[in-house]
Amino acid sequence: MAISKSLAYCGAECSRRCSLSSRPNLCHRACGTCCARCNCVPPGTAGNDEVCPCWANQTTHGGRKKCP
């Protein structure tokens, strides 16, 4: 039950977060991964990473920001 709540939460929050993205599929995939790891999504469509420090600290193998 907790997993479905988490997926529903992440889906809704990532839809909001990625609503203005120029690459929505990529944004949703990255956001979903970050939300699952951090259990939070910063407010707004960009920035506000300080609200969710885990989100801000996620990086790709190349050292770039992972979370949209």
Q: What is the pLDDT of residues 22-45, one digit of tens each?
A: 999 999 999 999 999 999 999 999
The sign one gets for the Cα dihedral 41, 46, 48, 49 is positive
How far is the C-alpha of 4 from the C-alpha of 50, rounded, in Å? 27
Ranges of H-type helices in the chain: 2-17, 24-38, 53-57
Domain positions in the chain: 2-57
| pTM for this model (two decimals) | 0.83
The per-residue pLDDT for 26 is 95
